[in-house]
Structures are given as structure tokens and as C-alpha cells.
């Protein structure tokens, strides 16, 4: 479960870009707003390549651009296409 160091290194920039927190990387996470924290957590979860990803109210925390990226990310997952799930 999770990612090893090599996977983290290879996906780090993509996760940061997806979450939209690049300019806040030097800020301790404890200082993030709840919305930023959820965006970062969702970005990490979305890049874990899970078999199942349950999305509840997480998308309500983000702005329109983040929501669009999140839905596109879900639509691109093989488990979405293989099971006929439309996003």
C-alpha cells in the first residue's frame, strides 16, 4: 500500500501540479487551509493507482479547475474504463 521512494520521486511534480500547491511547498502543511490539505490528499490518492477510489465531498473543496482535473484523472484510470464508469 502506498508508494516507495522511487515512485514518490517520479510522481512528485505531477502530484504538486495536480494539487495546485507549488507556490506553497515551503509552507508547513499544518499551515495549509482545509481546502489545500484536501486537494493535496486527493492528489496523492489519485496518483496511488488504486483499484477503487471513493470520492465523496472532496471535490466540493476545490475550485472549478481542480474539479475538472480530478474528474479527468478519474476518467483516465483503467478501472474506470474497464467497468464502464463514466465521469
pLDDT, tens digit (0-9, with 9 covering 90-100), for 24-81: 999 999 999 888 888 898 888 888 877 776 766 666 666 777 777 777 776 676 655 5
Global confidence as pTM:
0.68
Q: How confident is the model at residue 15 (pLDDT cuts 50, 70, 90)?
A: very high
**Residue 64 belongs to some domain of the structure:** yes
**Residue 25 belongs to some domain of the structure:** yes
With 80 as the cut, is the pLDDT of residue 6 above it?
A: yes
| Number of domains composing the chain | 1
- Cβ neighbours around 7 below 10 Å, total: 13
Q: CA 26, 28, 33 angle in degrees (round to 5)?
A: 110
The confidence score (pLDDT) of residue 79 equals: 57
Q: CA 70, 7, 63 angle in degrees (round to 5)?
A: 20
**Residue 87 belongs to some domain of the structure:** no
Domain span at residue 10? 5-82
Contact 15, 44 (CB under 8 A): yes
Which spans in 1-87 are helix H?
Answer: 5-19, 34-46, 64-75, 78-82
The confidence score (pLDDT) of residue 67 equals: 76
**Residue 73 belongs to some domain of the structure:** yes
**Residue 22 belongs to some domain of the structure:** yes
Amino acid at each position: 500500500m502506498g508508494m516507495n521512494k522511487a515512485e514518490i520521486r517520479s510522481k512528485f511534480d505531477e502530484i504538486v501540479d495536480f494539487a495546485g500547491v507549488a507556490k506553497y511547498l515551503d509552507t508547513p502543511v499544518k499551515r495549509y487551509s482545509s481546502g489545500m490539505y484536501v486537494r493535496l490528499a486527493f492528489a496523492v490518492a489519485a496518483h496511488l493507482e488504486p483499484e477503487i477510489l471513493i470520492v465523496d465531498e472532496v471535490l466540493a473543496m476545490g475550485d472549478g479547475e481542480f474539479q475538472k482535473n480530478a474528474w479527468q484523472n478519474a476518467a483516465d484510470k483503467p478501472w474506470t474504463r474497464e467497468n464502464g464508469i463514466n465521469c
